[in-house]
Structure 1
Amino acid sequence: MNKRNSLKATALALVAGVFTQPKTSHAASGELWFPGDPPQHKLVYQVNRADPDYINHILGSLRAMVVQYGDNVALAVVAFGPGIHLLATRPERPVSLEARQRIVGFANDYGVELVACGNTLTGLGWGADRVVSQARIEEVGASALMTYQEKGYAYIAW
């Protein structure tokens, strides 16, 4: 076979291979993911308790997700009920300064979205100044969880 026919045969084999490959998801296909691409993984955490061990488990899980997936995961934390104290500038429940600094660090350093429940704030008589500036306030925290799930986020609650 001469060079020209060899090139034609190679090109034909490549084209045939492209069209006969099974359809697979982006992640399962082994395709490369590059920083700046939309994340392949999405996870939203519900925080509804102010218990220190509970909060530390959630913070540990956030850290593990960042370590495992880096920029290839979108993370969100929705706080309501007693969990709102994790996002408070002056919590009235026993939430450590370290835990509050860690959650703010996740928002600042890794883009973790923080959401505070407006109904919980109203019930406590708190204004927007009582939550960290990195958090956005949604009127209904449960609604924010639902919206994240509708956008393809997996939902984690302890």
Structure 2
Amino acid sequence: MLKIKNCIVLLLGIFMLNTAIAEVPEPTIPDTFAKNKVVLQISDRDPFKQTLVLNVANNLMKHYGADLDIEIVAFGPGVRLLLDGNVNTKRIKPMMEAGVRFSACANTLGNFGKKLGKKPDVMEGATIVPAGAARILQLNAAGWQVLKP
């Protein structure tokens, strides 16, 4: 009887996890004519690393100009970069206006929510993707170069 109960609890947990992930639609690959396509990974909570990823994006924008498409994908502790109130918001907003896309991992946000008691707010303009690592793989499979500064 205990085995059946444990199996039911396990199946319910798997179902709930799949339902939570299914709520976030998978974004499409941007249809762009840019010759250079780069996805930058940030998975570190270290403010230096978060500043570094923004610096790399800015340097690439200066070097390639309009012939560049950039997406910064944040997951794990790095998702803090895209939370409302982050100290880098003043740097990120102009980058968004210039066409840089920012993606936050729904899995990480869900885990943060469990610890905090509520899901954290992501800054306006950032896209929530089901899984940050999967988004990087998706873009890489579509020909995007992956950089992890």
Structure 2 length-normalised TM: 0.71
Cα drift, residue 51 of structure 1: 1.1
Consecutive unaligned residues of structure 1, counting only runs of 5 or more, are 1-36, 92-96
Q: Within 2, Cα distance between the matches of 1:44 and 1:80? A: 13
**Residue of structure 2 in register with 1:54 after alignment:** 49
**Residue of structure 2 in register with 1:112 after alignment:** 100
**Residue of structure 1 in register with 2:15 after alignment:** none
Question: Which of structures 1 and 2 has the bigger CA Rg?
Answer: 1
Q: Within 2, Cα distance between the matches of 1:107 and 1:57? A: 17
Q: Within 2, Cα distance between the matches of 1:105 and 1:141? A: 23
Match of residue 128, structure 2, among 129, 133, 137:
137
* Structure 1 moving runs of 4+ over 4 Å: none
Cα drift, residue 151 of structure 1: 1.5
Q: Within 1, Cα distance between the matches of 2:124 and 2:89? A: 12
Letter in 2 for 1:117: C
Q: Pick 1 or 2: higher relative contact order, CA cutoff 8 A, min separation 6.
A: 2
Letter in 1 for 2:107: N
User: Number of paired residues?
Assistant: 114
Consecutive unaligned residues of structure 2, counting only runs of 5 or more, are 1-31
**Residue of structure 1 in register with 2:9 after alignment:** none
- 1:68-122 per-position Cα deviation (integer Å, ceiling 9, x unaligned): 111100000000111111100045xxxxx2x2221222112x2111100000000
CA RMSD of superposed structures (Å): 1.6
**Residue of structure 1 in register with 2:92 after alignment:** 103
Q: Is the 8 A contact 2:106 2:129 kept in 1?
A: yes
Match of residue 76, structure 1, among 71, 75, 97:
71
**Residue of structure 1 in register with 2:138 after alignment:** 147
Q: Within 1, Cα distance between the matches of 2:76 and 2:96? A: 20
Q: Within 1, Cα distance between the matches of 2:61 and 2:74? A: 20
Cα drift, residue 124 of structure 1: 0.6
For residues 17-28 of structure 1, what are the structure 2 equivalents within 5 Å? none
- Identical residues among aligned pairs (%): 28
**Residue of structure 2 in register with 1:86 after alignment:** 81
Q: Within 1, Cα distance between the matches of 2:65 and 2:46? A: 28
Q: Within 2, Cα distance between the matches of 1:90 and 1:60? A: 19
